[in-house]
Amino acid sequence: MPAAEYLFVYGTLRKYPESPMHRFLQAHADYVGRGWFQGRLYRVGDFPGMIESQDGNYPVRGEVYQLQDPETVFPELDRYEACSPMDPEPTLFKRRRREIRVEGLGRQNAWVYLFNHPVASLPEIPSGDFLKPEQ
């Protein structure tokens, strides 16, 4: 039996606001719980971009899902996140496996979509939560 595959989402794939891609994810994954990633969050327009950070004072908040069928989910999500093999380099995001903290479960390896462009000119979301940027 293959190992479980987890995905950490922090922007438009989260439960609220409910988007068509969230509904796709919900149909192919089970919600595990809230999660945190050691990174920094930026506004890239109508969506956020997350980068890794060594500074533990800036957790990015999101949700963790266990994927039922990664072979079905990842091609669709990679297209949505503009990091499929068909997207020109450098892609908008890159999908990487990283350690996530999951509420009630501790540390878990999960796939994350990391922003793959410079962030110097982008406004940071200091709360680390795309849905509650001012907190």
Number of structural domains (the chain) is 1
Q: What is the pLDDT of residues 64-76, one digit of tens each?
A: 999 999 999 999 9
Assess if residue 76 is contained within a domain.
yes
Range of the domain at 10: 5-115
Q: pLDDT at residue 1 above 60?
A: no
Q: CA 42 to CA 130: how far, in whole Å?
A: 9
What's the pLDDT band for 133 if we cut at 50, 70, 90? confident
Residue 62 forms part of a structural domain: yes
CATH number at residue 96: 3.10.490.10
pLDDT digits (tens, 9 = 90+) for 78-115: 999 999 999 999 999 999 999 999 999 899 999 999 99
pLDDT of residue 22: 93
Rg (CA), the chain: 14
